[in-house]
Amino acid sequence: MPRDILIVDKYSSTRALLKNFLRAEISDCRIHEAVSLEEGLSFFNPMDIQLAILSDRLSELEHAGRHRDIPPVVQRFANKVACLVILSLHQPQHMSGLQTMGFRHFLPNPYTANQLAEMVEQVAPARRLRNQPRFHLPHTTAHLHLGEHTLHALVVNVSPSGVLCEVAVTADKPPVFSFNDMSQLAISLHLPAALNIPVLERLACRLVGMKILEWHENNLPALLRLEVKLLTEMVHNFAQLSHTLLLMEE
């Protein structure tokens, strides 16, 4: 399930930087923006925000530690959602004031995309938000089909609605897939022979995430991690897949 992340900062350049960092490192997120805490509150109904990334330069936060009274909008925010505060002011009194307001997670500025992603995973871990179990099936492989082309993949884990897999890319033979046109993408799962389950052939799916895990020396990708979501139209195949997962539970 994608995480809904809300960025609250009065500067558009900072919001753009955070968006770029999040999209580069986290594949399972939807990003929303607000320029103030008051505007940010409007996203909580009907949306389910899992994480808010706040700037300490917001008018309600920049004087933290100097005043005893906590603005009501800050209290409402801190009570509604897990928050990560980006620290621009590195002063003990300021940090203490933010903690008094109810904030517990901080990331000093400047920071890297990787540091941001690590904090997001710490504050709002994807595993905690999953509404379906995921299973690792040893020795399970897959074929991704796009038109007449096929990619061989190793399955990392599988759920009734999706597959996470890795594709090794040789330096002299990059994949012929065009990731710009995924409308006809399908996946076949080759389960361990011991399960005595037939190959799940050409389940229609769509690509929802891709990350480069390793690089060749010539700057071409060496290992891709792909996340595919099975289309709801293939519900008649889910029974077969779910049966397999129940066998693994036993």
Indicate whether 32 belongs to any domain: yes
Q: Is the pLDDT of residue 234 over 50?
A: no
Tell me: do 10 and 121 sit in the same domain: yes
Structural domain total, the chain: 2
77 and 171 belong to one structural domain: no
Same domain, 178 and 86: no
Whether 20 is covered by a domain: the verdict is yes
Q: What is the mean pLDDT of residues 110-121?
A: 91
Same domain, 117 and 151: no
Top-ranked range on mean pLDDT: pick from 69-73, 102-106, 196-200, 201-205: 102-106
pLDDT of residue 229: 82
Q: What share of the chain in percent tops pLDDT 90?
A: 22
CATH of the domain at 174: 2.40.10.220
Same domain, 25 and 103: yes
Check which CATH number belongs to the domain holding 40 and give it.
3.40.50.2300
Closest-CA residue to 53 (of 89, 11, 12, 82): 82
Place of tokens 């710009």: 180
At 233 the pLDDT is 44
Residue-by-residue DSSP string for 184-207: T-EEEEE--GGG----EEEEEEEE
Give domain status of residue 201, yes or no. Answer: yes
Mean pLDDT (whole number) for 85-111: 86
Name the range with the highest mean pLDDT among 8-17, 92-101, 190-199.
8-17
Residues 59, 171: one domain? no
Please say whether the dihedral angle defined by the alpha carbons of residues 61, 65, 66 and 69, taken in this order, is positive or negative. Answer: positive
Residues 59, 96: contact at Cβ < 8 Å?
Answer: no
At residue 11, the pLDDT reads: 92
Rounded to the nearest 5 degrees, what angle is found at the Cα of 126, between the Cα atoms of 5 and 106?
55
- Whether residue 136 is contained in a domain is answered as no
Contact 178, 151 (CB under 8 A): no
User: Which of 53-67, 122-136, 137-151, 207-221 has the least mean pLDDT?
Assistant: 122-136
Which of 19-23, 26-30, 244-248 tops mean pLDDT? 19-23
Residue that has been written with the tokens 């939807």 in this structure: 30
141-155 tens-digit pLDDT: 999 998 778 889 999
| CB neighbourhood size of 207 (10 A) | 17
Residue 4: pLDDT band by 50, 70, 90 thresholds? Answer: confident
| Whether residues 31 and 122 fall in one domain | yes
Domain that holds residue 182: 141-249
**Same-domain status, 116 and 10:** yes
Q: Mention every residue, 6+ apart, whose C-beta is less than 8 A from residue 185.
A: 144, 145, 146, 204, 205, 206, 207, 228
149 shares its domain with 101: no
Residue 116 shares a structural domain with residue 147: no
pLDDT at 130 (0 to 100): 56
What percent of the residues of the chain are helix, what percent strand, and what percent coil, each to the nearest 5? 30, 35, 35
Which pLDDT score is estimated for 16?
94
Bigger pLDDT: 179 or 134?
A: 134
Alpha carbons 227 and 221: distance in angstroms, whole number: 16
pLDDT at 242: 60
Integer Rg of the chain from CA: 22
The length of the chain is 250
Q: What is the largest CA-CA distance in the chain?
A: 68
C-alpha 192/C-alpha 139 separation (Å) is 6
Q: What is the pLDDT of residue 177?
A: 59
**pLDDT over 90 at 84, yes or no:** yes
